[in-house]
Structure 1
Amino acid sequence: MQFSEQWLRTFVDPQLDSAGLGHLLTMAGLEVEEAEPAAPAFRGVVVAKIVEAEKHPNADKLKLCKVDAGTGELLQIVCGAPNAAAGMKVPCAVVGAVLPGEFEIKKAKLRGVESFGMLCSARELGFSEDHSGLYALPEDAPVGTDIRAYLGLDDTLFTIKLTPNRADCLSLTGVAREVAAITGGEFRPLAIDPVAPAIEARRDIVLDAPQACPRYCGRILRGVDARAATPDWMVRRLVRSGIRSISALVDITNYVMLELGQPLHAFDNAKLQGAIHVRLPRAGEQVLLLNEQTVTPAADTLLIADEARALALAGIMGGEDSGITLDTTEVFLESAFFAPDAIAGRARAYGFGSDASHRFERGVDPELARGALERATRLVIELCGGEAGPVVEAVATDALPARAPVRLRPARARRVLGIVLADADMLALLRRVHLQVERTGDDILVTPPSWRFDIEIEEDLIEEIARLHGYDNIPAIAPQGSLMMLPSSENGRPVWALRHLLAARGYQEVVNFAFVEEAWERDFCANENPIRLANPIASHLSVMRSSLIPGLVGTLAANRKRQIDRVRVFEVARVFERKADGDPVRGFHQVMNIAALAAGQVVPEQWGERARSVDFYDVKGDLEALFAPRELQFAPLSHPALHPGRAAAVRLDGHMIGVLGELHPVWVQRYELGTAPVVFEVALDAALAARVPAYAEISRMQAVRRDLALVVGNEVPVERVLEVLREAAPALVREIALFDLYQGKGIDHDKKSLAFKVSMQDTRRTLEDAEVDAAIALLVTHAETVLGARLRGAGA
């Protein structure tokens, strides 16, 4: 909520400067997000009257003005504003004045004519963006008065961030009440005198849904001049509260809402038929709203209607068909209390919001409706004329919210707050915020006023005591305790170790939302039934992710749009899937995964290495480094997110733990990625598991190497050949590794030659040739038997 400090000080004027007031509000729980001046610094600008305005002798678009600036003599000023006219009162920067941006006004000569000052627009003074012409001042503005003082520009605009439970502070009255309570200053609430009816005109009100609207007040005003100008003081207060001035009648309803916290609405009474009904919608009923949007209200959306049709969405927005115009002469003014549950979430469901719905869904004082109506009536009569009819009020007393007493135990409050505070001090603090308190034995019984929706339990009262006493007056005592050294197992490693390892290989960690676009789940996971959110924070973030890959692709897309080609990112986070015995929520399973994406060049652009795009094997090496010294196995895989033929299932100890591959070309094109990234995603538990170190003697003997070239069918994966060779390897074989693949001359077109390095070593003695030859023969024989392989160079 935004408001003017000067306006606030008409209700309560603490002996604090702007900075002190902002700090006090923040420490009281009304966090000040911004505090900025109403206008930038300038000096030497006064109220002036244009006495004459004639055409410049040497320029068609300039005027030569004679201006009375209160100096005792008329100033000659050349002006280019199209609205400059004799008789206007405008801001005038005299010679020597300094405007925003340190622009100094000097005597000048424009098209051969001397000019002794400058007539100003609102934008040139920095308090508005309007630059269409000179800023017109009221006719009664005193000539020669400093414009900062006259317009109240030495003002601070506060923007406070309220928690949803403090709807009572969505008004100047509410904020002032809090400031008075905290500072002990005098609170000067607005005195509201009822307006005596001058006409008999009235309109009946029927509450067809009393639980949703237990109080509704309205009255008719006739002879109203809707074209009357909104007074300058009201426009300034509205604008400084972030609300644009529209017309006098609309401005008055907005002004009272800001002043008291009660939203109001004005209908054109001539467009209404019969009684006003507060009801739920009929089947197929539609409403054309003031924002020109036609909606079909849901069954639980409250409507304001007459005998013929629906007029407005109750507590949200009025209808176009019954709205006031500049030709309106007869007004039906509404002021009501709508239950928060009847308004909450309805505006968002239709894709918009309003100041009224923002207040009603958080809670408006149910006792305020009639007083606000009287206040608005008086302002309408004073500014727009007319006569008022009697107030018609419909009340369902049993449906009005009751403020139940809350019991406070002073001893518990002291224990929770950790400070010594006497019972009498607690009573005094609670009375300062208009709470009714009485002693009942050792306890205090507290009844909140009608505007405090947030006080329901004992903890609410303890919080009140804390903030009124002052959070900065509660000492911060460092917690003390004894800690035990917990055992650290060697069969696991911490998550930070994985993060450091990936960071060392050039990856940067990202944190993405766990809720994603439904299209992502469909595209990357082939998930047609994702877990949907009941109340998403945005319409496009409506489902829970079942994979981390879409989020990483989204990160890449955002970087590519910013001309960043080389991207390496990873994420450690939860994914969500449906599972009957899920943990921790039944029906849903939450799994921790680790995923990474690499795109662009393998190394940053440099002169020492030729540019090459990252490929499958680069990222495969990063993944293997993540699990080293354990060895991963890879097998062909079909995955909706990955390129056919360039994707693999990742296995560890025979169990599938994730996927690795190049992104599918369809998604590369659809998400405008340019080149295909390579991604992997594996279960975090598998990556955290570690092999317990085991002692093995280092051999002093020289190792023996033999190269073994086997010819196998193209369909046989290398992984399978290695597996078969390792099955048959005797104890003296320490390593079997592939170092060459050959297909071509001398090899059948459906075959391939795989060359392996076989290292053999004994820890106690040098191996003999016979032992080495026997080991190689054993490997060849087993490969021939299991795989149908043959030794390259041997006969077919």
Structure 2
Amino acid sequence: MRVPLSWLREYVDLPATETGRDVQAKLISAGLEVESVEQLGAGLKGPLVVGKVLTVEELTEFKKPIRFCTVDVGGAGGASQAGGSGEGAGEPQEIICGARNFAEGDKVVVALPGAVLPGDFKIAERKTYGRVSRGMICSGDELGMGDDGGHGIIVLPPELEVGADAVELLQLHDEVLDIAVTPDRGYCLSMRGVARETATAYGLPLRDPALLDVPAPNSFGHTVKISDPRGCDRFTARTVVGLDPEARSPIWLQRRLQKAGMRPISLAVDITNYVMLEIGQPLHAYDRSLIDGPIGVRRAEPGEKLTTLDGVQRTLDPEDLVITDNRGPIGLAGVMGGADTEIADTVRDPGTGQANGTTEVVIEAAHFDAVSIARAARRHKLGSEASRRFERGVDPQATAAAAQRTVDLLVLLAGGTAEGGVTEIIAPSAPRTITMAADHPDRVAGMTYGREAVVRRLQEVGCDVYGQDELVVTVPSWRPDLHEPNDLAEEVIRLEGYENLPSTLPTPPAGRGLTPRQRLHRRVGRALAGAGYVEAPNYPFIGESVLDQLGLEADDPRRAVVTLVNPISDEEPALRTTLLPGLLATLRRNHGRGASDLALFETGLVFRPTGEETVPPATLPVDRRPTDEEVAALNGALPRQPRRVATVLAGAREQAGWWGEGRPADWADAIESARAVAREAGVDLVLRSDQHAPWHPGRCSALYAAVDGEETLVGHAGELHPRAIKALGLPERTCAMELELDLLERAGRGAVRAPGISAFPVATQDVALVVAADVPAAEVEQALRDGAGELLESIRLFDVFSGEQIGEGRKSLAYALRFRAADRTLTVEEASAARDAAIALAGERTGAVLRGA
């Protein structure tokens, strides 16, 4: 809602020193969203005057039409030429102009030399097209007036005085507040509503534009029949005859519409738009000569059609509320009128010279059901200023005043005569009341306002308040958003000032904190972030085509997906069964935008249906909490939702520089990310070679952990299969890891044991073992660990070698073993004995032999 400050001052006597910024601050404090204050006419300087075109000479020797005009500007002409001395006053100005929408005798706006137009456009005497131009004939765009309908020269009414100040006449200097009206404050889509908020914020009286003397309804007005009182509970019809078809909207009316963001069209339409902006009640004017019989309000019949004012023929829905006459629909109620009863443009008969146009109008001011109007506007994709107001709630008691205001303006500006008939149909309804404890706003805000302040603020809103400790509040008709005590409390709090609310921290209940699952989740995120991974959360939706790209077998459990009935995207209708599709899509997107070295991770739920899900209850109550049985039935219909963690890598894992050569990410980094996650759970992973899509068969490791005393598969890690990389458009040698966090949490249950710290020195022994090339290093490591016994503190693989020296199909694995005792310094014999035991067990389990033996 655009609110000109000059218009707002008509209803509230704001101090003369108050600027638009000051009013903005007050309204924001009262809870309105004032987005900006536009300074109209900023930088505009005169002389800018009314001129009369005396002569027009067409210059045809140029590529485009050029006109050389002489314009009478009154006494301003000589002053501009003689430096403001007034010498030669009254001399016409010679002006070059390219526009063609004016003629000799028209009154126009003239910017004389010395004037400055918006955009720092300075007007000076200059020679152009072989003539001297002493000024400029202005259009609305050049003056910053907004859309003037044709983007042409402003042609003023003929009765204006030549030489008059055009800046004041066109109200070019003003401030306009742009308010983002929220759905619960539909009353602020009018000057009346904003003025009420302004008056309350400043503590000033309001001149309500809807307080008009309205004649009593009678039986002489235009006949109206309402067959759907629920859709239309109030309808006022007034008739004005004898309108001058040549009457134009006065400048003040056009300017107010333009400042409010609306384009002037014709006098009758401009008046209905003006009253809508002023009071907030949408109106419609019908050409009475085009109405056939009584006006009706009903629901549309199946297959009915209506051509609306935008020239589009629309097929109506049975839920649409329509305005009718004897022929059928003539308007889509509350949204847009029909073309059959449109106010006709003025056309002059070429033979008689007589102006033909609408001379009799019927004014409609009605109150329609907000839900019906909102649905109709969306159904037909036909939002309008009227529907925007109706769907937010319009004051039903303003219909008669809005109709009277429209009649008054038509009589005043169009020379019409108001007929004595007044039609008003009202469906019986009682005012809405709310019972509220007087201290309820105090308890909501956490501070004491007191009964007197609560009553005063509610009365400022427009409520009638009765009672002492328990208040009975009658809600004003223009506030359909007030339904319960909390709504009233909000009104009190916002008018008392949100900035006055105390800042207090909530007191958490004792004895509650994060669950073990939540703590593990956070530790895993911190560990991966510390290892250089960037968290990249994704939506949990996938398309089944991505499972083909991953190369999953037809019987793979990950192909059993849960399909949504109403997916956000038809291309991704299923819930994910693995975290990899979303992460790999993020990696591909970032790689395509130039990020070549990537390490991403995500933790989240996957959805694995078991086939044992039950059918959920058809309905659940809304007036109470579901019972334990109902909650159990809901949970029984859900698929299994384990929490998982996944990482993906591509590009360089270590950057090259003066410190040395870098290296690319490989399968070992993916496995190490799994170990980092397992360490946070206090779990030791066992690695075994595996073939599992989408990983490369020779570079895939299955990850096992002891869960509830049994070795259980908890995930996979390694390099992706080249076919999957190609299908998904990923960088070469992309690696990935995925683990089930819930299983790791179960594997790590039990007392947390702090690491033992010994004050005695460590004994280091290195061992190089030769094994078959297909023997996993993890199996050799586990054998060494088991054979070394309790003295072994740590073991690390530091070299892998294969070559002619050790034979074809063989490889050498070199390990560093660290031995330490908690109570003594180990002897060389003890360390060597533990080393020999480890080698012996490794040889027994894996066939390893000591290198060089």
* Same fold at TM > 0.5: yes
Q: Evaluate the alpha carbon distance shift between residue 499 and residue 431 of structure 1 in structure 2; reply closer, same or farther with a 3 A threshold.
A: same
Q: Which residue number corresponds to residue 458 of structure 2? A: 430
Post-superposition Cα deviations, 1:240-259, rounded to whole Å, max 9, x if no partner, equal 22334455554444333222
* Contact 1:226-1:249 within 8 A present in 2 as well: no
The CA deviation at 1:135 is 3.6
| Amino acid corresponding to residue 840 of structure 2 in structure 1 | A
* Distance in 2 of aligned mates of 1:138 and 1:736: 96
Matched, 1:446 2:450: no
Greater Cα offset, 555-564 or 452-461:
555-564
Greater Cα offset, 272-281 or 453-462:
272-281
Matched, 1:52 2:55: yes
Q: Which residue number corresponds to residue 339 of structure 1? A: 369
* Distance in 2 of aligned mates of 1:186 and 1:454: 24
Q: Which residue number corresponds to residue 17 of structure 1? A: 19
* Contact 1:753-1:792 within 8 A present in 2 as well: no
Matched, 1:94 2:94: no
* Contact 1:40-1:125 within 8 A present in 2 as well: no
Local SS of the residue matching 1:33 = strand
The CA deviation at 1:780 is 3.1
Q: Evaluate the alpha carbon distance shift between residue 231 and residue 489 of structure 1 in structure 2; reply closer, same or farther with a 3 A threshold.
A: closer
The CA deviation at 1:25 is 0.8
Matched, 1:264 2:268: no
Local SS of the residue matching 2:205 = coil
| Amino acid corresponding to residue 86 of structure 1 in structure 2 | E
Give unmatched runs, 5+ long, in structure 1.
Answer: 785-789
* Distance in 1 of aligned mates of 2:194 and 2:108: 34
The CA deviation at 1:588 is 5.7
Matched, 1:406 2:440: no
- Aligned 1:747-758 pairs, distance under 5 A: 755-758=812-815
Q: Percent identity?
A: 32
Greater Cα offset, 671-680 or 352-361:
671-680
Local SS of the residue matching 2:493 = helix
Matched, 1:170 2:189: yes
Q: Evaluate the alpha carbon distance shift between residue 518 and residue 736 of structure 1 in structure 2; reply closer, same or farther with a 3 A threshold.
A: closer
**1:700 pairs with 752, 761, 784, which one?**
761
* Contact 1:729-1:779 within 8 A present in 2 as well: no
| Amino acid corresponding to residue 170 of structure 1 in structure 2 | L
The CA deviation at 1:353 is 3.5
**1:240 pairs with 247, 259, 268, which one?**
259
- Aligned 1:671-686 pairs, distance under 5 A: none
Matched, 1:8 2:13: no
The CA deviation at 1:571 is 5.8
Q: TM-score, normalised by structure 2?
A: 0.73
Give unmatched runs, 5+ long, in structure 2.
Answer: 77-88, 347-356, 551-557, 615-629, 821-825
| Amino acid corresponding to residue 757 of structure 1 in structure 2 | A
Q: Evaluate the alpha carbon distance shift between residue 529 and residue 345 of structure 1 in structure 2; reply closer, same or farther with a 3 A threshold.
A: farther
* Contact 1:491-1:692 within 8 A present in 2 as well: no
* Contact 2:233-2:426 within 8 A present in 1 as well: yes
**Larger radius of gyration between Structure 1 and Structure 2:** 2
Q: Which residue number corresponds to residue 367 of structure 1? A: 397
* Contact 1:429-1:465 within 8 A present in 2 as well: yes
* Distance in 2 of aligned mates of 1:774 and 1:672: 50
* Contact 1:520-1:550 within 8 A present in 2 as well: no
Post-superposition Cα deviations, 1:56-114, rounded to whole Å, max 9, x if no partner, equal 59755443332333412333333334446433433333222233343433332324533
Q: Evaluate the alpha carbon distance shift between residue 67 and residue 179 of structure 1 in structure 2; reply closer, same or farther with a 3 A threshold.
A: same
Matched, 1:775 2:794: no
Matched, 1:68 2:72: yes
Q: Which residue number corresponds to residue 787 of structure 1? A: none
* Distance in 2 of aligned mates of 1:540 and 1:344: 30
**1:396 pairs with 427, 443, 446, which one?**
427
| Amino acid corresponding to residue 65 of structure 1 in structure 2 | C
The CA deviation at 1:160 is 1.7
RMSD of aligned C-alpha atoms? 5.3
Matched, 1:476 2:502: yes
| Amino acid corresponding to residue 460 of structure 1 in structure 2 | D
| Amino acid corresponding to residue 75 of structure 1 in structure 2 | Q
Matched, 1:80 2:98: yes
Q: Which residue number corresponds to residue 358 of structure 1? A: 388
Local SS of the residue matching 2:393 = coil
Local SS of the residue matching 2:276 = helix
Q: Evaluate the alpha carbon distance shift between residue 456 and residue 624 of structure 1 in structure 2; reply closer, same or farther with a 3 A threshold.
A: same
* Distance in 2 of aligned mates of 1:554 and 1:43: 58
Q: Evaluate the alpha carbon distance shift between residue 284 and residue 48 of structure 1 in structure 2; reply closer, same or farther with a 3 A threshold.
A: closer
- Aligned 1:77-476 pairs, distance under 5 A: 77-83=95-101, 85-128=103-146, 132-190=151-209, 192=212, 202-208=222-228, 210-218=229-237, 229-266=248-285, 278-282=297-301, 300-304=319-323, 313-318=332-337, 326=345, 329=358, 333-344=363-374, 347-348=377-378, 353-379=383-409, 390-397=421-428, 400=429, 402-414=430-442, 416-417=444-445, 421=449, 423-438=451-466, 440-472=467-499, 474=500, 476=502
Q: Which residue number corresponds to residue 827 of structure 2? A: 765
Local SS of the residue matching 1:703 = strand
* Contact 2:171-2:255 within 8 A present in 1 as well: no
Post-superposition Cα deviations, 1:652-679, rounded to whole Å, max 9, x if no partner, equal 5566666768899999999988889766
* Distance in 2 of aligned mates of 1:450 and 1:702: 89
* Distance in 2 of aligned mates of 1:387 and 1:644: 92
* Contact 2:20-2:175 within 8 A present in 1 as well: yes
Local SS of the residue matching 2:819 = coil
Q: Evaluate the alpha carbon distance shift between residue 124 and residue 604 of structure 1 in structure 2; reply closer, same or farther with a 3 A threshold.
A: farther
Q: Which residue number corresponds to residue 619 of structure 2? A: none
Post-superposition Cα deviations, 1:499-536, rounded to whole Å, max 9, x if no partner, equal 55555555555677x687989999998686445679x8
* Distance in 1 of aligned mates of 2:729 and 2:249: 52
| Amino acid corresponding to residue 458 of structure 1 in structure 2 | P
**1:735 pairs with 787, 795, 799, which one?**
795
Paired residues in the alignment total 774
Local SS of the residue matching 1:43 = coil
* Contact 1:207-1:214 within 8 A present in 2 as well: no
* Distance in 2 of aligned mates of 1:487 and 1:723: 38
The CA deviation at 1:24 is 1.0
* Contact 2:217-2:424 within 8 A present in 1 as well: no
Greater Cα offset, 552-561 or 20-29:
552-561
* Distance in 1 of aligned mates of 2:73 and 2:729: 63
Q: Evaluate the alpha carbon distance shift between residue 95 and residue 289 of structure 1 in structure 2; reply closer, same or farther with a 3 A threshold.
A: closer
Q: Evaluate the alpha carbon distance shift between residue 429 and residue 541 of structure 1 in structure 2; reply closer, same or farther with a 3 A threshold.
A: farther
Q: Evaluate the alpha carbon distance shift between residue 133 and residue 547 of structure 1 in structure 2; reply closer, same or farther with a 3 A threshold.
A: farther
* Distance in 2 of aligned mates of 1:600 and 1:292: 59
* Distance in 2 of aligned mates of 1:292 and 1:605: 68
* Distance in 1 of aligned mates of 2:162 and 2:723: 72
| Amino acid corresponding to residue 762 of structure 1 in structure 2 | F
- Aligned 1:467-616 pairs, distance under 5 A: 467-472=494-499, 474=500, 476=502, 501-504=527-530, 506-507=532-533, 529-531=562-564, 586=635
* Contact 1:215-1:395 within 8 A present in 2 as well: yes
* Contact 2:562-2:574 within 8 A present in 1 as well: no
* Distance in 2 of aligned mates of 1:659 and 1:322: 73
| Amino acid corresponding to residue 467 of structure 1 in structure 2 | R
* Distance in 2 of aligned mates of 1:521 and 1:284: 44
* Contact 1:337-1:366 within 8 A present in 2 as well: yes
The CA deviation at 1:286 is 6.2
* Distance in 1 of aligned mates of 2:717 and 2:263: 56
Q: Evaluate the alpha carbon distance shift between residue 745 and residue 446 of structure 1 in structure 2; reply closer, same or farther with a 3 A threshold.
A: same
Post-superposition Cα deviations, 1:544-569, rounded to whole Å, max 9, x if no partner, equal 88877676677667767866666666
